[in-house]
Amino acid sequence: MLNDNFLKLPGSYLFAEINKRVKAYEAKHPEMKLIRMGIGDVTLPLPQASIQAMHEAVDELASGATLKGYGPEQGYAFLREAIVEHDYRPIGVELESEDIFVSDGAKSDTANITDLFDQSVKIAVTDPVYPVYVDSNVLAGRGGLYGEDGRWSDIEYLPCNKENGFVPPLPSKDVDIIYLCNPNNPTGTTLTRSELEVIVDQARSEGQLIMYDAAYEVFVREEDVPRSIYEIEGAKECAIEFRSYSKTAGFTGVRCGYTVVPTALTIRSSSGEEVMLNPLWSRRQTTKFNGASYISQRGAAAIYTAEGRAQVKQNIDYYLNNAAIIRKALMQAGVEVFGGVSSPYIWLKTPESYPSSWDYFHYLLEEKQIIGTPGVGFGPQGEGYLRLSAFNSLEATTEAMSRL
């Protein structure tokens, strides 16, 4: 018998639907030059330091004396130590290498982590949301029924919109697991230290677990926005953090990320015993995963060298400059914009003349030849918004904004 939860999942129509509509437009207007601002993927070349480290790693595989076969499932010590030393120590967070689990990316980790929990746990997500958190839990049987309103009956949705400044309300107390993404995809907005403190405080007092997706941490430019959930007091006892080299260093095709499961984090078993999560995630990984490739891990470790760091900063500054150009142009055009300060995403409120996400998508496509992503594709609260991405060239970004 099939895991019927697969049949419950609605098709992922968003990007297919966008493609279909773009193709139809292109067929009618082959002479028009479209600018793609829907992309959630990097476009700049990888940092030279990573490229060089990966070349050297390949050469090591060319000799029996330096060959690397299966590595540790949790990641090589050189990378786990570099993460502790360079990603956390400078921001005042003390972790141990054994808290770090290197992987092939944050998408798999945020989905696979669901293996650790009983089917009955109740989850809360923000709306709009990165769809992986929802779909992975639905497959594990935690969704209930999918309603016409685009929501699952057993999942609690925390609305994030301009009215509440994209700060989710506290989840109700019967929620067990809360997913947060900061800086946020899709809204590009951020949660400050004090906003996170409120969520962490409740999580600790109610025994809730926070899944903190920090895939866009490297884009943070605001002083009061933390780079890690562990900057918040007590978070090591209630939060798992996910990070990725995908947006940080252009590793979307190379594949490398990591997850932090602090040893202070415990969970209750059905017999009421407090059990450490760290060895359980280790057990899960050693059972179902054979480690990220040596080449990827060498490439990742190279971003922590002086030149690697400078090259990463240069790339991120480039995207953030695009984001600033988009923000400014939209504001001048009288459009309400959010995000894009500590994020490559700009979330705009559709104007009154094109109120729905898809209406405005069509306006941009047909009148300006710009492709965005309709906000409603990320959840019902995304209706009336549209996402533009700064992951394009400076030239294309400038051209698109002058059209606007």
Ligand X SMILES: *Cc1c(COP(=O)(O)O)cnc(C)c1O
Stretch that binds ligand X, among 245-253, 275-283, 316-324, 329-337 (CB under 6 A): 245-253
Instruction: Give the pair of three-digit tokens for residue 377.
Output: 């594709």
Give CA angle at 247 (245, 253), nearest 5°.
Answer: 70
By CB under 6 A, residue 247 contacts ligand X: yes
Q: How many CB atoms lie within 10 A of CB 135?
A: 17
Among residues 185, 296, 381, 397, which is the contact residue for ligand X, using CB under 6 A? 185
What is the crossing angle of helices 394-403 and 306-332, to 10°? Answer: 10
Among residues 128, 183, 250, 257, which is the contact residue for ligand X, using CB under 6 A? 257
By CB under 6 A, residue 389 contacts ligand X: no
By CB under 6 A, residue 181 contacts ligand X: yes
By CB under 6 A, residue 244 contacts ligand X: yes
CA 258 – CA 100 distance, rounded (Å): 7
By CB under 6 A, residue 134 contacts ligand X: no
| Maximum alpha-carbon separation in the chain | 68
By CB under 6 A, residue 106 contacts ligand X: yes
The alpha carbon of 269 is separated from its chain's Cα centroid by a whole number of angstroms, namely 29
CA 37 – CA 304 distance, rounded (Å): 30
Stretch that binds ligand X, among 118-126, 246-254, 287-295, 351-359 (CB under 6 A): 246-254
Q: Residue written as tokens 């019927």?
A: 4
By CB under 6 A, residue 346 contacts ligand X: no
C-alpha to C-alpha distances, 229 to 125, 234, 260, nearest whole angstrom: 17, 10, 10
Given the complex with ligand X, which of 30 and 253 has the nearer CB atom? 253
Given the complex with ligand X, which of 76 and 216 has the nearer CB atom? 216
Please check whether residue 57 is in contact with residue 79, taking contact to mean a CB–CB distance below 8 angstroms.
no
Q: With DSSP H G I counted as helix, E B as strand and the rest as coil, what are the percentages for the chain, rounded to 5?
A: 45, 15, 40
By CB under 6 A, residue 50 contacts ligand X: no
Shortest spacing between CB 44 and ligand X, in angstroms: 15
Among residues 246, 259, 315, 397, which is the contact residue for ligand X, using CB under 6 A? 246
By CB under 6 A, residue 387 contacts ligand X: no
Please check whether residue 324 is in contact with residue 172, taking contact to mean a CB–CB distance below 8 angstroms.
no
Helical residues (DSSP H) of 302-381, grouped into ranges: 306-332, 357-368
Nearest residue to ligand X, using CB?
105
By CB under 6 A, residue 327 contacts ligand X: no
**Span 214-243, contacts to ligand X by CB under 6 A:** 215
Q: How many residues bind ligand X (CB under 6 A)?
A: 14
Stretch that binds ligand X, among 54-62, 102-110, 311-319, 385-393 (CB under 6 A): 102-110
By CB under 6 A, residue 105 contacts ligand X: yes
Given the complex with ligand X, which of 181 and 200 has the nearer CB atom? 181
- In terms of Cβ atoms closer than 10 Å to its own Cβ (0-12, 13-18, 19+), residue 108 is middle
Instruction: Give the pair of three-digit tokens for residue 66.
Output: 């330096």
**Span 13-42, contacts to ligand X by CB under 6 A:** 40
Q: Which residues bind ligand X (CB under 6 A)?
A: 40, 105-107, 130, 181, 185, 213, 215, 244, 246-247, 252, 257
